[in-house]
Structure 1
Amino acid sequence: MKHENYDLYFPDQPVVDLYLPIWANLPAFRAKPAFVWAEDDPARTPVSSTLTYEQLNTSVQNISTQLLQLQLQKGDTVVILCPPGLELVEIIFACQRAGLIAVPVVPPHPSFATHNNHHHHLVRVLSQTKPKAAIANRNYVNALRAHTSSTNNSHGLPGLLRKIKWISTDELKGVTVKSNDISRYNGCNAHDVYLIQYTSGATSVPKPVLVTAGAAAHNVRVARKAYDLHPNSVIVSWLPMYHDCGLMFLLLTIVSGATCVLTSPAGFLNRPRLWLELISDHRATCTPVPSFTLPLVVRRGGVSEGTSSITLGTLKNLIIINEPIYKDSIEGFVKVFGPFGLNPTCVSPSYGLAENCTFVSTSWRLLCSSSGENDIINFPIFKNLLPSAKLDSSSSSSSSMEEEEIEILIVDEETHEPVSDGVEGEIWVSSPSNAAGYLDHPSLTREIFNARLRNKAAAPCFVRTGDTGVVVGEERYLYVTGRISDIIKLSGGREVHPHFIETAAYSTTCGRNTLRPGCIAAFGISGDGGSVAVVAELQGRRRGGSGAAAVEVKVLREVCEGIKVAVMDAERVSVGLVILVESGSLPKTSSGKIQRWAAKYRFERGGGADFNVVMKMAFESKHSTRNYLPLISSSL
């Protein structure tokens, strides 16, 4: 592998944690902020705290030493149940330095209500990873102990909680260790599993991915080069810090010697303007966000509110994740925030997945060179989607990316043969960033992580992403078109990606004024001859409360009917059922992705009863797209 470091005297390190003491011992970096935590206070003014490179390195050394003195050994698994913040950052890096396998998990409320998704996920994590210990703050540990002592149940969650050693973060900060001698590093080696990262759950129940320290280091080095990050870079992130992109940017900050300003997903969702303020106040150069962020901020960003000014001219990378990436949403964002200094060339459509640590590719540099400085219209598009990579034009169906040793193929999922350009297929990725497999899933690991092309046994192994893509044009841009498991099979053998239906449903005038963007799920109705259901969240109708003033039934009828007509006109797909639900009803991942599979499961289990239904309208086709009989039930 070629080395892309900016200083020839600063060689690549085999694991990310080895970069930290190097930066911490450089005079120019000792007092430099590595991470800044911004908390939104009631006055709507961010309040921040800081960890410098020297402070972080010292804290990581102290905590890692203390962990190994608490009956833990290198290779043991530790669940991290800390809330978002600088303490979580310290614990994650300390586990790597101690040689432990970290499992960061969103801590569920200590009441452990059975309807809480985080509660179910914790049961899954404790059952599958069988940790030796769990780390949480003192109040959380005390609440756990009170919960387990209040029940005699030895099964389920109480039994799992009793089996592991609980470590308070207060116990880990009482020792001071002065040694920063990296020549005596005893932490994770490159081939050691250092992280169990759960998939997001967007397409199925979250699965535990085994990530080696070397794969993670390779992944963030490739991302650093792709986004041109360096010690002068300032990153702003509100993404969940427990997996995928949110976790990768913690590592990416250290490898780049950059500064990362963090806040919580809840803080952003409660007040989206917070994100804009942090970019402006800290003169951020890079920020990763899910694709739904842009229309959300356009609608709720509160540009005219607040006392601080918004200035986005410093951004070099507006990294868009959560494919597919629509041109319209990006154009709308650029149009609104162009007057605030946003340069369209900072838009960085990107692609990644947990099975490849996170990062796979971006089309940022390529789009910068192909578009005018202030003209996003020149971006190449396919079915209104932006590309996430440009593949090697010297090969008929792959991207060799020789410097990073990455190969991307579009493959027929049935025959395992590369498809021609212009033909949709499954995206396969071969890279040193490939994870080691799924924990305790040997058959699935062989199927997903050890895929080989047909009749090419000597070729490298690939990760089957489960995502579909197509390569288009002479420049061979790669467009991520959807997910195989989400594809809706229609009558006559036709197939359609649900996001096209969801986009058409929202595009109506009534839809834009009434529905929440990015909060629509389309799926096939089992056993109904290829009929499609659309579930959409309404604006201003909050789950568990009265919400805004009731929307007239007449308007809701128009929304349902408009969805059916719009989907037929745009996609030639007949919608058999529209369900309008309260805000927050649809199941989503921690980063805001719609879980269509879970929405379909809820529908099939209860016919929509689990959705906090406001209105449900079924349609009976009469040979015409506009002749149907609405059957209405309403809670209004």
Structure 2
Amino acid sequence: MTDAALTPTPNDCPLPRRRSDFATFNEAIDYAAQSEKGLNFHDMRGMIERPYPYSEMRKDALVMARRMVAAGIGKEDRVALIAETGPDFAALFCACVYVGAWPVPLPLPTTFGGKESYIDQLAVQLQSSDPKILIYPEEITEMAQAAAAKQGCPSESWQDFAKREAPECGLPQADPEDICYLQYSSGSTRFPTGVAVTHRALLHNLYGHATSMDLGQGDRVVSWLPWYHDMGLVGCFLSLIANQVSCDYLKPDHFARRPLAWLDMISRNEGKTLSYSPTFGYDICARRISSQSHVSERFDLSRWRVAGNGADMIRPDVMQNFVNAFAEAGFKASAFTPSYGLAEAVLAVTVMPPGEGIRVELVEEERLSGSERNLSRPARYRAIVNCGKPLPDMDVEIRGEGGQAKGDHQIGKVWCRGPSVMHSYFRNPEATEDCLVDGWLDTGDMGYVADGYLFIVGRAKDMIIINGKNHWPQDIEWAVEQLPGFNHGDIAAFSIEMENGEEAPAVLVHCRVSDPEERVRLRNEIADKVRSVTGMSCIVELVPPRTLPRTSSGKLSRAKAKKLYLSGEIEPIQLAA
């Protein structure tokens, strides 16, 4: 039961704030433990269950570190941790840092289609990271042990690991160039790739993050983001330690069931709130509230200072819907803070200066795809969101296919360089060489720069090229989403090779309709919509709900959807002739 007498950790305390100016993350933990601030874990309704001051977290971490040493875990060993939002993971992650081992946060089963799918995915990540041990919450014992057994990896619940002896022992000194942790990414190259992040890179990005957000007195973070994804792990856990900020947490699966509990928690914060979400989080809340009235009576979002937005393509229409839904509760459109980043750069590359809100530019589709303007039909435009300015010491450059730098408003590949660019992909020199060139990181994203701001237009590897013309899958997917009954993430667009050797666009769509005639009508309606966007016929396949695969961070995986479709693992719904 939730104890009404529990007191959350404070927003402010006498300890002077240091903006991540530490040599190692070990020092950051030690300093944060001198404050009264900390992490606060809430139940499904957003009511506090467990305040966890940084002082207590450090104490638990040091005990756990001694257990790790006694278990033979040392410098550069990997420790796979199932990243459940709670005190156990927080203490275990910090324990690894104290020991010099590399924590490897791995996902919970909630983001995968089923039990076997999760076991297979976890086993692949264990094979890649080659950990000394997998530590997991006992609720998923069967699946965790099955995945570990596939790799011959020792495994133990954290409840059992906490029963081990913790004899006194010395702990190693960390160096700024040591690897701090491995972050699994669905980013620049083939999956899975473990991004190796040094202490220096982590702390520099956290400094830039705090500086860009102008982190100050009275600020507090509220988060439901998972800790196995960089936005949740770095932005809403490690950053808070390194910058001494208190945070209120809602578990990701609790947010999925009761998304408005997130806004309830923000409403109760008496300080200034920083809270982040991918586009779909704002979308869910705006949809959920649309059937309710008395928004201003339930919520007070007037102190929401930074409403961060990142991790996927930012959609201005969704952001506007959120403003429309919650303006009467005091939410200000200027609070929106778009950003761009990726795990290969720790977290953030660019951040919109606070208070500037969502700014868009309308760009002709032909410019986005690099094709010739068709003068026989009216120009079509896509709204491209301004993702802000580079963090301190981060350089961003737009390059053409030949590697030449491009000027303002010229679309090309996004490259970045700075102290927080990753060390390497773990045990994957080929993938590292593919994306790291002379200190510059090829992000795999396409965009352009204008007046020092970065605009992202899509993923280079997702581009659909038909008859020499480029099409962004997002354009096709967004077009289908405009039809009634579809949500963000219901559609995957990609190209496939036909028997005659030519490429054709294919669209997989979640179907919630059971009537056979209605399904045929829906398929034809989708085909017409895609034809209006691409100017050509496409293959439309209706698939059961929750069929389309996602990355560990919850993003649609077009590449995996294509692979599963071509292999027959995704079976389309058979339509009447």
- TM-score, normalised by the number of residues in structure 1: 0.77
Distance 2:282 2:83 in 1: 29
What is the aligned partner in structure 1 of residue 56 from structure 2? 55
Residue identity in the other structure for 1:226: S
Distance 2:198 2:362 in 1: 36
Matched, 1:489 2:479: no
Distance 2:158 2:425 in 1: 29
SS at match of 1:385: strand
SS at match of 2:261: helix
Matched, 1:14 2:3: no
Contact 1:39-1:46 within 8 A present in 2 as well: yes
CA 1:596 to 1:159, structure 2 compared with 1: closer, same or farther past 3 Å? closer
Matched, 1:503 2:478: yes
Distance 1:77 1:275 in 2: 33
* Structure 1 stretch displaced more, 558-567 or 259-268: 558-567
Matched, 1:35 2:35: no
Matched, 1:311 2:300: yes
Distance 2:82 2:90 in 1: 12
* Structure 1 stretch displaced more, 209-218 or 60-69: 60-69
Q: Which has the higher contact order (CA 8 A, sep 6+)?
A: 2
> Of 507, 520, 533, which aligns to 1:534?
507
> Of 199, 218, 232, which aligns to 2:204?
218
Distance 2:290 2:161 in 1: 42
Distance 2:455 2:171 in 1: 42
What is the aligned partner in structure 2 of residue 626 from structure 1? none
CA 1:175 to 1:232, structure 2 compared with 1: closer, same or farther past 3 Å? farther
What is the aligned partner in structure 1 of residue 92 from structure 2? 91
Residue identity in the other structure for 2:337: S
Distance 1:331 1:224 in 2: 26
Distance 1:8 1:265 in 2: 29
* Structure 1 stretch displaced more, 342-351 or 266-275: 266-275
Please report how far the alpha carbon of residue 118 of structure 1 lies from its aligned counterpart in structure 2 after TM superposition.
2.5
CA 1:278 to 1:200, structure 2 compared with 1: closer, same or farther past 3 Å? farther
> Of 444, 447, 463, which aligns to 1:469?
447
Contact 1:564-1:574 within 8 A present in 2 as well: no
Matched, 1:410 2:398: yes
What is the aligned partner in structure 2 of residue 627 from structure 1? none
CA 1:14 to 1:503, structure 2 compared with 1: closer, same or farther past 3 Å? same
SS at match of 2:122: helix
Residue identity in the other structure for 1:131: P
CA 1:499 to 1:265, structure 2 compared with 1: closer, same or farther past 3 Å? same
> Of 424, 434, 452, which aligns to 2:411?
424
> Of 220, 225, 244, which aligns to 1:234?
220
Matched, 1:266 2:249: no
> Of 428, 432, 439, which aligns to 1:445?
432
Listed as ranges, the gaps of 5+ residues in structure 2 are 1-14, 364-381
Distance 1:207 1:120 in 2: 16
What is the aligned partner in structure 2 of residue 599 from structure 1? 561
Distance 2:395 2:74 in 1: 37
Distance 1:288 1:495 in 2: 32
Contact 1:534-1:575 within 8 A present in 2 as well: no
Distance 1:18 1:185 in 2: 13
Matched, 1:590 2:565: no
Alignment size in residue pairs: 539
What is the aligned partner in structure 2 of residue 285 from structure 1? 273
Please report how far the alpha carbon of residue 486 of structure 1 lies from its aligned counterpart in structure 2 after TM superposition.
0.4
Contact 2:210-2:243 within 8 A present in 1 as well: yes
Please report how far the alpha carbon of residue 8 of structure 1 lies from its aligned counterpart in structure 2 after TM superposition.
8.9
* Structure 1 stretch displaced more, 6-15 or 218-227: 6-15
What is the aligned partner in structure 1 of residue 456 from structure 2? 480
Residue identity in the other structure for 1:533: A
SS at match of 1:64: helix
Distance 2:159 2:336 in 1: 39
Please report how far the alpha carbon of residue 338 of structure 1 lies from its aligned counterpart in structure 2 after TM superposition.
1.0
* Structure 1 stretch displaced more, 201-210 or 270-279: 201-210
Distance 1:322 1:9 in 2: 27
What does the per-residue CA deviation read over 1:518-563, in whole Å, with 9 as the maximum and x for residues that have no partner?
A: 321111122363321112224xx4xxxxxxxx55445444433333
Contact 1:114-1:120 within 8 A present in 2 as well: no
What is the aligned partner in structure 2 of residue 567 from structure 1? 530
> Of 165, 171, 180, which aligns to 1:194?
180
* Structure 1 stretch displaced more, 298-307 or 229-238: 298-307
Contact 2:310-2:340 within 8 A present in 1 as well: yes
Listed as ranges, the gaps of 5+ residues in structure 1 are 1-5, 149-155, 369-375, 391-398, 453-460, 542-549, 616-631
Matched, 1:346 2:347: no
Over the residues paired in the alignment, what is the CA RMSD in angstroms?
Answer: 3.2
What is the aligned partner in structure 1 of residue 239 from structure 2? 252
What is the aligned partner in structure 2 of residue 79 from structure 1? 80
Distance 1:61 1:139 in 2: 25
What is the aligned partner in structure 2 of residue 136 from structure 1? 136
CA 1:198 to 1:65, structure 2 compared with 1: closer, same or farther past 3 Å? same
Distance 1:385 1:480 in 2: 7
Contact 2:132-2:154 within 8 A present in 1 as well: yes
Please report how far the alpha carbon of residue 200 of structure 1 lies from its aligned counterpart in structure 2 after TM superposition.
3.0
What is the aligned partner in structure 2 of residue 294 from structure 1? 282
Distance 1:192 1:425 in 2: 34
Please report how far the alpha carbon of residue 483 of structure 1 lies from its aligned counterpart in structure 2 after TM superposition.
0.6
- TM-score, normalised by the number of residues in structure 2: 0.85
What is the aligned partner in structure 1 of residue 151 from structure 2? 160
Please report how far the alpha carbon of residue 352 of structure 1 lies from its aligned counterpart in structure 2 after TM superposition.
0.7
Distance 2:120 2:143 in 1: 15
Please report how far the alpha carbon of residue 23 of structure 1 lies from its aligned counterpart in structure 2 after TM superposition.
3.0
Please report how far the alpha carbon of residue 303 of structure 1 lies from its aligned counterpart in structure 2 after TM superposition.
6.9
Contact 1:502-1:520 within 8 A present in 2 as well: yes
CA 1:213 to 1:116, structure 2 compared with 1: closer, same or farther past 3 Å? farther
Please report how far the alpha carbon of residue 592 of structure 1 lies from its aligned counterpart in structure 2 after TM superposition.
2.2
Please report how far the alpha carbon of residue 465 of structure 1 lies from its aligned counterpart in structure 2 after TM superposition.
0.5
Distance 1:417 1:177 in 2: 58
Distance 2:109 2:314 in 1: 31
Distance 1:305 1:87 in 2: 39
Contact 1:426-1:466 within 8 A present in 2 as well: yes
CA 1:229 to 1:173, structure 2 compared with 1: closer, same or farther past 3 Å? farther
Distance 2:113 2:460 in 1: 33
Distance 2:557 2:128 in 1: 22
SS at match of 2:66: helix
